[in-house]
Structure 1
C-alpha cells in the first residue's frame, strides 16, 4: 500500500468505533489521539453479536477475531415468560446471539488493548470547541491544552458532542421511538437456574431480560414512555427513573431492581436512531452511533467496526480528506440505512405496548422457533449484515512487536 502523508488526527470517543479506527489509522502511520469523557476505560454493557462474512472478515483483518471467539458468551436458549413468570416458549440461541456473541465490555477492552500500540488515549477530557481553518482544526478541550489537528473524527455516540459542535443540536438528527432501555449487572434469583441462558419477562409496555453469561448475571430493562425527558449524564436520576417505572412490576422484578442502586455499570438511554443527510463537514467526520445509531437489533457494533475499516481505508487511498470522506459515506450509507430499517422496530418487538400486541409478538416468536422460519430469519439478518462490498484497501495489522511506540498521556 502506498503511504499517504501522515496526519495528526483526533478521535473523540473510546467505546467501540473510536478504538477500532485508532487501530487502523495508527497502523497507517497517522499520529492518533483518542479523547474520552469518562475518567477511565468503561467496562460493562450487555451482549453484542456479529453475523456474516463481512463482520467476520473485518475482525479477522484487525487481528482480534480469535481473541473474541475465545470470549464468546456461549449463550444458550432463552425462555419467554408470561406476566406470572410461566414459560411460554424457548428461543434458539441463534435468534439473539448471532454467529459470535461477546459482552460489550469484552469487545471494548479487546479493541482498546489492540489499539494501544498505535494511539495515545486521554481519559477524563472532552472537546469544548472546534474551529476549522485552512490547514486544520483548532480544538479547545474542557481540561487539556488547545491543540491543532489535521482531522477530527466524532465517534462519541448518540449524544455526540462532536456532532453538536460541527452540525448543530442533537434534536435535529435524533429520531426517538418512545422506548427506553437500561442494562446493568444484576444478581439472578438462584431458583431460576440460569447458566449460559436467559429469561425474558413482559407485561404490556415493559420487558425485563435476565441472563447469565460467562458466570456473570446481567439485566436489560425496556419500557415504553413517549415524551419522556431525561439528562443523559445524570446516572443517579436515571436509576431513580428506572426504579419508578418498574416499581409495581411482578414476577422477580423487585429482586432485579435491588441491584440498580449499586450497579457500577448501569447504562440508560432511549431507543433512538440518528438520521443525517451528511456525515462530514470540512475536516470533521462522524463514525458509529454519532452518525447513524441504528438502535438495538440494527447491528450497531458491526456497523462501527466496518465503518472504522472503510473510513481508514478511504483515508489511506484517496488523494485528500474530502475525497476520502465522500467515498466513505457513499460506501457506508446504503449499509447503514439497511441496518437502521432492521433496528427500527426494536422497541415494539421487545416491549409491546398492549396485551393484544404482546400476544401477537409471542405468536411471532413461536413461528420463529420452527426450523423453516428460523432459517429464514437467520438468512435475512445475515443478508443485512453482508449488504456491503468490502474493499481490500491493502490494510493490515502487524504484531505488537512491529508496532510504533506511542506515549500515553
Structure 2
C-alpha cells in the first residue's frame, strides 16, 4: 500500500529500525532514534543497491517520489543512480573549489601580498562588496561577459562609475590568474569594452604657478604640526614621488654612499631612484635627530599611533587643509603635478628626465623602458636645482615679491 504523509507522521518508534514501503522501490526507514529516512531499493548489474534521498520531513513524500522517478530514468539509460549522485557531488565540490570567489581569494593571497595595506583593503572590498555577491559562487569557467556586466551594473547604479571600471580590472586579473593556473579558458572582461559608462576625467588638484608654489612652501615652513608631518610635507615637494611611496619609506631605503633613495615604484613596480638634494638631506638629518635610537628597518614617517606602522594616508591631506588648502586647491598627489609643470615650463628640463624622476614608464626610441639609472647624473643636478628653486620661491613669497622669471635654464 502506498505511503501517505499521515502514515509517515504517525509511524511509531520501535526498539529496532524498520521499513515502510511505498512503490517502485521507494521506502522510508523508521529509525529507533525517531528519525525517518527515504531510500530507494534497486538492482544494477545484478546487484541489489540502495539510494538515499534524505530525511523526512525536510524531504517531502512528493519530492522523494520525484527523485525515485529520476533515478529510475537513469536506470533505463544504463546509468547507476548511486554512482551518478556521487559524480554530481564530486563535480559540485570541484566547482566550489574553482568558484570565482575561491580563485579570487587565492589570487589575492598570492598576488597582493606585496601591496600596501590600503591598496589591499580597497581590492578586498571590491571583491567582497561588488563581485562576490553576484558571481562569487559561480565556477570561474562559467562566468560570462553578461554575468560580469550585471555585477558591474549594480556598482554603476550607485553612481560609482570609476569604481565599476576598477572592479572590472580586478576581475580581469582574477580571470587571467585562473587561466595561468589552468582553471579557466578565457577572460570575459575585455568583451565589456564600451559597455560601461564613461567616468568623468578627474585630475588631482595641484598648484602649478611659481607664485602659488612659493606661498605653499612658505606655508609649509611655518606649519606648526608634528615634526614628522612637517618633514613629510617638505619632502613631498622635494621628492615629488607618489604619496604612498613617501609614507612607506624606511631608513634602509637611503643609500648613504650615493646620497639617494632607492625604492620600488608603487605603480610600475620598477626600481626607482630619488637623488637627495642638500635640502632633503637636512630634513632627513633633523628628523633622524628626533629619533636617535630607531632602527634602519623602521619607517621614516611613522604613525602617530606607533612606529610599527607608517603615517596615515590622510596626514598630509589634513595638514594641507590646516594650512588653508582644500581638496580643490592642493592634494598630496598634487606635488607631482607641481614639479612636472614647473620643471618643464619654467626650468626647461627635458621631459624624459622629469618623467623618469616621476617614475613613469618612459621608453626610448626603440620602445625599450629606460633602466633606473638612466640619466641619473642629469637627474641629480635637476633635483638639486629644483630644491634651490623652491627655496627661492619661498624666500620671495615671505618677502611678498614673487617673480615668475626663469630661475636658471637647464643644461
TM-score, normalised relative to structure 2: 0.22
> Which of the pair has more CA radius of gyration?
2
- Of structures 1 and 2, the one with the larger relative CO (CA 8 A, separation 6+) is 1
Query: TM-score by structure 1 length?
Result: 0.22
